[in-house]
Structures are given as structure tokens and as C-alpha cells.
Structure 1
């Protein structure tokens, strides 16, 4: 005969097993779409604001056609046109280069992007259904060391894009 105590013990044991079997990483990052780019306020010409959308499912890279200076208090909303397929391999690995520590940072500015006309980088991912976005200083002395490899990569790859 099953007693209430044994039933409770059995339910407790199953619950403990299920909770210990769960993945400890509760962060779900959508690496399908990544927005990235650079911006400069004291600048002239078409290259002052360059924002791109990388879609890994479609294996497509698109460029924003608006070229509006991004506002630090909201994510960037662009209008994108697909680039030739030859540009996709230049940036296809960017989602894998985003350090996990970045997701501990609040949305907004890291460092003082473009405060002294040095420009900044824009980065946006979707995490647990929410848009996460950062405006990152180009001066490595103003940002955490964990961002240095990503900033170096963006510095070398964005100029290779149209």
C-alpha cells in the first residue's frame, strides 16, 4: 500500500532529478540575426554610419540603407538591403566571437563611444526574445578587457564591407 509519505518522497525525488538534469545555462541567445556596425558623429560622407544585419539561417549579410546616427537609449531600427554573397564569409563567425560577459552588461553605452569624435561600434543580439544592444567605445582603455578581441575584429572587418 502506497502511503502519503512514500508518495511525497517519490515526487520529491523525481523533482530533484529533473531540476538537477536541467541545463545550467538559462540564457538563450538567438544567433540567427546579429546587427553590428560602426558610427561617427563628426564625419562626412557615406561611411559615417555603417550598420549591417547578419542572418546566419539565410547565410546573408545586408546593409542598412538609412545610415542614421544611432541613439544610445534605444536599439537601432534600420532598413536593410542584401549584399552580394561574397561578403558573407567575412563576417559569418561574428556571433561566435561575442563574449558571454557582454550579456551581463546593461543595454546602452560601454565606455564613451564617439564622445571625443573617435566613433563607436554598435552590436545587437536577441536574448530570450528581447533585443539586447550596446554602443561600444572604440578606445580599448575605456572598455573592459573581455571586449578587446571583439573590438579588434570589428575594427578590421567593417572597413572591408561596402
Structure 2
């Protein structure tokens, strides 16, 4: 399944390339945005949101809890190298979720995850409860990986 997601993610990138093999153009509409948010929190790490493409990693500098206002700046390549495989863990089942909210993100001050997935301009977004008891099991490994990658970026 991980290979299928990676294939879909890569396919969107590859199909956007020009015929010039030496300077392919990256389709900027293919990306994974991931982050966490905590409402009853103070400080820089309360809202962390990142945008991952196949070549770069960006950090949101607005830190809006809603995920509606995003402004990204490019991070160093070393941070990209730490997280570039996150799309391998994206669960394909999530694309079938009809509701944009899964569980009750941050209702019990436990925080939430913000996930946005775009392939060829087709965009889907979710806010996911950090409490695994409130979300389907297929999300657990991905949730762990998102939290792990955020920690790696922030260290």
C-alpha cells in the first residue's frame, strides 16, 4: 500500500515533466501538507505546519490553528532529507474519507493533526484527533510518522 501511495505521488510529479530530461518541471500542485495544532498551548511549537513536495520542504510561518491561512518558506535540504519519505506512509484509505474531521481534534486539549493532500490539483484536507482511540486504526502508523517527522524537523 505504501508503494501505491508513493507511486501515485511520484506519478503526479512525473506526468508533469516536460520532454527535456535534463530540466524537468515539477508540478507544484502535487504535495503533502502535514502538521499539528494544540489550542491550549503557548509558544512556537503549538502550531507546526509543513509542505512536502518531491524536491523541497517548506514551513508555514503564520501558524494559524485552522489551516486556512498558510504562508510557506523553504527549509534547508537537511530537513527535507529527514522527512522526504513521509508520503510512503500516507494511507490510501484516507482518500475515501467523506468527512474532513476525524475524531474530535483538540477537544480534550490533546491536539490534532492537519493533513492536506494534493495530486494534480485535486485537493483533500483533514483534521485528525491525536487520540488514537477516536480514529480508525489504519491512521495510527501515519499519525505516528507525522508526529515523528515534526519532531525531527524541530530538533
Gaps of 5+ in 2: 1-7, 14-29
Counterparts of 1:94 and 1:122 in 2: how far apart (Å)? 14
* Number of residue pairs matched by the alignment: 129
Alpha-carbon deviations, 1:128-160, whole Å to 9, x = none? 632100111111110000001001111222122
Q: TM-score, normalised by structure 1?
A: 0.74
Answer with 1 or 2: which has the greater Rg: 1
Counterparts of 1:161 and 1:129 in 2: how far apart (Å)? 26
Instruction: Give runs of ≥4 in structure 1 deviating > 6 Å.
Output: none
Aligned pairs for 1:1-162 within 5 A? 30=12, 32-56=30-54, 59-70=55-66, 76-127=68-119, 129-162=121-154
Q: TM-score, normalised by structure 2?
A: 0.77
How far did 1:107 drift?
4.5
